[in-house]
Amino acid sequence: MWKKFLVIWLLFIILFSLGNCAFADDEIEEINETDNNILATVADNISVEPETYSKHIICIERTTERVLYEKDAYTKTPMASTTKILTLIITLEKCDLSEVVEISSKSAHTGGSTLGITEGSKMTLEALVYGLMLRSGNDCAVAIAEHIRWKC
């Protein structure tokens, strides 16, 4: 039961930390016409670009599907976050999170978004999972994948 909760919790964090605006239709009341007009006026008068570390963002007003803000939103990119979520699911299904993983050279030298793990260090799968999902650590993803391949 706690594993399903962890997956849902981590997915929630990912969705709202990537800088994307995503809302569920059944969880938010309909925006009435007045709110729509206010939202449109505010969006039209924003002159300062929001500060963000994301390379690609799109924020869409749900009822009108009007794009409120976008930054390189239509460029195709690899599905890194989706791959990390699948890595997490396989880890939770196949492994015990208390297992200890020795960090390989390959995982320690993985580029992109990393946790900064070092070659030869030892970490629990639980710590690697947190690094994978909260820091989007590519190095953690490789270490977990190697562990699953050889141990689980």
Active site residue 121: no
Q: Helix 125-134 vs helix 138-150: angle between axes, to the nearest 10 degrees?
A: 140
> Active-site residue among 4, 17, 55, 81?
81
**Could you tell me if 14 and 133 are in contact, meaning their C-beta atoms sit under 8 angstroms apart?**
yes
The tokens of 70 are what? 């976008």
Task: Classify strands 122-124 and 100-102 as parallel, antiparallel or unpaired.
Answer: antiparallel
H or E stretch covering 59:
strand 57-60
**Could you tell me if 70 and 57 are in contact, meaning their C-beta atoms sit under 8 angstroms apart?**
yes
Give the chain's length.
152
> Active-site residue among 84, 104, 107, 122?
84
Active site residue 136: yes
> Active-site residue among 4, 71, 76, 136?
136
Centre a 10 Å sphere on the Cβ of residue 39 and count the other Cβ atoms it contains: 16
Active site residue 84: yes
Return the active site residues: 81, 84, 136
